[in-house]
């Protein structure tokens, strides 16, 4: 491309008088912006402070700090209002209930007596379920429940636990049911469906039959987490026995009322 094709009008004339010739000094004056010896006087319209693109970039940099400022503003209580307690990310807050004197309390105890206990156990992840069973049997023995009063119903997996619990509860031979199993998260949504349905199904079995059903199903991310929680079998037994004793007291108080 020749100079005559690139520079229109007067700029083309300044670039060169002769045909096909280009004055390098004129070309430099046309192409390069006017710059004084003092660099502070440099004036480039493309770098003007009023450039909206530059303003957008500056606004974006300021917005990077905005979420943190907004979070701080939300966390700070309004003047005169008490500070909100921080949410606990993990763990529990143990402690007994404080009930004033003079109020009737109906509370069960994890005692065996002559109560029959049904245990429905999932064979899937059997290594973990076996450890849950061990802790459950040890707790039943401590509570005074004889082996002749215990019935174990194995089922294929955690998804079948609700059906097994419902079947045991409907026989009316057991004061409570203990459901034991383990669901370990994998790479798909299978975990969510099985764990969720197991929990809701066991609750439904208790609600429909009126027989306490204790949830002793581990829902964990790794096998190591499951192994560290094998004592949940004993915890489920204590829960089931306490609820069974509570229901027995409630029935007895209703008869004498």
Enzyme catalytic residues: 190
- Radius of gyration, alpha carbons of the chain: 39
Q: In degrees, to the nearest 5, what angle opens at C-alpha 160 toward C-alphas 242 and 194?
A: 95
Contact assessment for residue 174 and residue 118, using Cβ atoms and an 8 Å cutoff: yes
């Amino acid at each position: 491309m020749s100079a005559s094709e690139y520079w229109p009008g007067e700029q083309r004339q300044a670039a060169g008088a002769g045909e096909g010739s280009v004055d390098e000094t004129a070309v430099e004056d046309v192409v390069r912006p006017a710059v004084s010896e003092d660099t502070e006087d440099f004036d480039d319209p493309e770098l003007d402070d009023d450039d909206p693109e530059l303003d957008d970039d500056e606004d974006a940099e300021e917005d990077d700090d905005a979420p943190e400022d907004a979070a701080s503003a939300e966390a700070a209580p309004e003047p005169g209002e008490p500070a909100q307690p921080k949410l606990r990310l993990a763990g529990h807050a143990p402690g007994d209930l404080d009930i004033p004197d003079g109020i009737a309390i109906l509370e069960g105890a994890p005692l065996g007596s002559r109560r029959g206990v049904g245990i429905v156990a999932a064979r899937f992840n059997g290594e973990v379920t076996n450890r849950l069973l061990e802790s459950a049997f040890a707790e039943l023995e401590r509570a005074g429940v004889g082996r002749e009063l215990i019935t174990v119903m194995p089922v294929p997996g955690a998804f079948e636990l609700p059906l097994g619990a419902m079947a045991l509860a409907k026989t009316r031979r057991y004061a409570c049911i203990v459901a034991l199993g383990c669901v370990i998260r994998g790479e798909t949504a299978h975990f969510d469906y099985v764990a969720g349905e197991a929990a809701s199904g066991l609750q439904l079995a208790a609600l429909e039959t009126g027989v306490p059903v204790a949830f002793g199903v581990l829902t964990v991310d790794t096998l190591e987490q499951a192994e560290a929680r094998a004592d949940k079998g004993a915890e489920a037994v204590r829960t089931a026995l306490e609820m069974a004793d509570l229901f027995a007291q409630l029935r007895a108080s209703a008869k004498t009322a």
